[in-house]
Amino acid sequence: MNRSGGYVRSATDTVERQCDRCEWHAVAGSYPELIKQYQDHLRDEHPMAWVRS
């Protein structure tokens, strides 16, 4: 028997990261992927932060 109206999170949960310095945010399927996207963003848009991190 299924309960309708509820929602079930599947195994394909995504992770999200928002930039502390601008409106940028990313959604990815895994943390390593997300971190890579964030690092790429930092390097391109916030080189000073990139150097410090």
Residues near Zn ion, by CB under 5 A? 19, 21-22, 24, 45
**Least spacing, CB of residue 53 vs Zn ion, in Å:** 12
Nearer to Zn ion, 11 or 52 (CB): 52
Neighbours of 26 (CB within 10 A): 18
Least CB distance to Zn ion at residue 9 (A): 28
CA distance 7 to 32: 27
Q: How far is the CB of 23 from Zn ion (least distance, A)?
A: 8
The Cα 34–Cα 19 span in angstroms is: 12
